[in-house]
Structure formats: structure tokens, C-alpha cells
Homo-oligomer: A and B are copies of this chain.
Amino acid sequence: MKDVDPQRHAERMAIKQRIMNERIAQADKEQGLLLVHTGSGKGKSSAGFGMLARALGHGMKVGVVQFIKGAFSTGEEAFFRDLPNVEYHVMGEGYTWDTQNRERDIEKAEAAWEVARRMLADSSFDMVLLDELNIALHFEYLNLDRVLDDLQARPAMQHAIVTGRYAPKALIELADTVTEMKLVKHAFKDQGVKAQKGVEL
């Protein structure tokens, strides 16, 4: 991109515009999407909450179930919890390594899934965010087939977002859009920097 010719640049951009427009014209299927954010990098949950904000900006109704972070009073919860058009549930009792009780974890996950299931069966929700559901699936706190069945049975126009490391292969196959958040560099792990309010918490 050094010293590009403005004329050539304009031509390239015109071609790109035409291709984009053709692609958009062809992409005429309207449907609710199943999105998965996984991988070991940052931003899986944050991207889910960003999409929530975007949906709210369009006047859509959203539901949130947090499957793991119950012990934390996070900034997201403080921010979204009492907004109009938001139903917000925090389940579980903190990270699993804080609970050390597999049976209680399973119980909490089951209760959380009941709430999620109700939202996934209710077409008044335009978007449902299932935060850290992948962790609950990874530890087999929930039956994967049941979860996939409930996701697939949701209203045709409803978007569902599933976040967390270790997304199961079958969920990735079912999903429409999957992003792997890949860790390139992490201040907290690499450089002895404390978890920062607004960024990590």
C-alpha cells in the first residue's frame, strides 16, 4: 500500500463496491443466526454484549443467561440488567474452580438452561445471549444433544449467541457463524498486569 496511485485506488474500490453489492443482492435469506464465539483469546463475551447493545439500538428485545460468572458483579450486569427490553439472568456461583462441587455446578447449569430454554421458545426475544454456555457443555454439566435440539427449535427469526472456550464440535457444525478469538498477546498473563476494571472485570 505504499504510494498508491489515487486513480488506481478509486478503480479498485469501485470494483470492490460492485462485488460487495452483488454479494449483498444475492444474500436474500432472512433468518435468525446461531453465532458462536470461542477460542482462548479475549472478547468472546464482550462481542456478545456488543451485539446485544447493537440489537437494543435497533429496538430489539434481548435475553441474557450467564452460565458461569455468578459470583462476580460484572460491569455488563450493572449496565444491562435494568435496561428496557432486557431480561438478564445470572446463574451458577462463580467460576467452576471456585465451587469445587460438581453436583452443585450441574444443578445450577440445569436451572440456567431452563431459563434459556424458555427464552429460546419465546419469539418475542429477538436475540438470546448464552454467555459461557460452552464451559457448561465442556464440563458436561448439560446434555449436549438437548442443548442443540433446543437451539435448533428456536423461532426462525431469533438470533442466538453462544460464548466460551471449548465450543463442542457439534455446536460449531450447527452454527451459522463461528469466530475463534485467538490470543495473540495478553497483558494479564504475559506482563504481570492486574485484571483491570472495565477490561477484564
Q: Are A177 and B187 in contact (CB under 8 A)?
A: yes
A196 at the interface (CB under 8 A from B): yes
Residues of B within 8 A of A20 (CB): 95, 97
Using a CB-CB cutoff of 8 Å, which residues 57-75 of chain A contact chain B?
Answer: 57-58, 60, 74-75
Residues of B within 8 A of A181 (CB): 41, 43, 47, 179-182
A9 at the interface (CB under 8 A from B): yes
Partner of A192, one of B27, B45, B195: B27
Partner of A74, one of B26, B48, B57: B57
Cα–Cα, bound, A46→B139 (Å): 27
Selecting from A76-84, A109-117, A146-154, the interface stretch reads A76-84
Q: Are A178 and B172 in contact (CB under 8 A)?
A: no
Q: Are B76 and A57 in contact (CB under 8 A)?
A: yes
Cα–Cα, bound, A24→B189 (Å): 9
A37 at the interface (CB under 8 A from B): yes
Partner of A42, one of B35, B182, B187: B35
A29-B194 contact, Cβ under 8 Å, with A57-B79, A74-B54? yes
A199 at the interface (CB under 8 A from B): yes
A140 at the interface (CB under 8 A from B): yes
Q: Are A33 and B199 in contact (CB under 8 A)?
A: yes
Q: Are A1 and B138 in contact (CB under 8 A)?
A: yes
Residues of B within 8 A of A6 (CB): 102-103
Residues of B within 8 A of A142 (CB): none
A172-B199 contact, Cβ under 8 Å, with A28-B194, A53-B80, A57-B76? no
With A53-B75, A60-B198, A176-B187 known, 4 other A-B pairs at CB within 8 A are: A10-B101, A43-B181, A44-B47, A180-B182
Residues of A within 8 A of B (CB): 1-2, 4, 6, 9-10, 13-14, 16-17, 20, 23-24, 26-33, 35-39, 41-58, 60, 74-80, 95-103, 126-127, 138-140, 159, 172, 175-189, 191-199, 201
